Amino acid sequence: MLKNLLELVKENAGEAIINNPAVPNAKNTAVVQAATNSLFKALQNNAKQGGLNNIKELLEGRQEVEKSPVIGALSSSVAGDLMKKFKLDKGAANSIVTMLIPVVLSRLVKKTNDPNDSSFNLEGIIGALAGRQGGIGGLLGSLKNILGK
């Protein structure tokens, strides 16, 4: 699942990261990886703070991504992490998340609900966020292994 999310972020990083003059080309891959890691962490934190039902409704397609209460928290967290890690100014970090997070979440919702696409499933995502076997901690550890960090 984590590898698939990383690929989803990579596929949608064009204007937000790759073609963004605020992100040096040499850091494109690192910013994509950090955004993926931060997105996982933000989802986990949101779930722990009582937002698991909102995440579930979002992934089931019962909420519009842009109107979801989840998106603000995720975007704020990801932007903050990018500002700290890459010394981006607030405008650049907000620009990245504004272009990236809604698109990635929309694609995640679509893939989660597509019976012909097994890359994501609701049960696996919710289980990971709820800390079940192989939960988000394991996924973040896997991300570190994938990224070689």
* Res 22: pLDDT: 95
For residues 102 and 49, give the distance between their C-alpha atoms in angstroms, rounded to a whole number: 21
Residues 6+ apart with CB under 8 A from 107: 8, 11, 12
Asked if pLDDT for residue 27 goes beyond 70, the answer is yes
Mean pLDDT of 55-83: 93
- Residue 85 has φ and ψ, to the nearest 5°, of -70, -35
Asked if pLDDT for residue 83 goes beyond 90, the answer is yes
* Res 90: pLDDT: 97
Q: What is the pLDDT of residues 93-102, one digit of tens each?
A: 999 999 999 9
pLDDT band, residue 148 (cuts 50/70/90)? very low
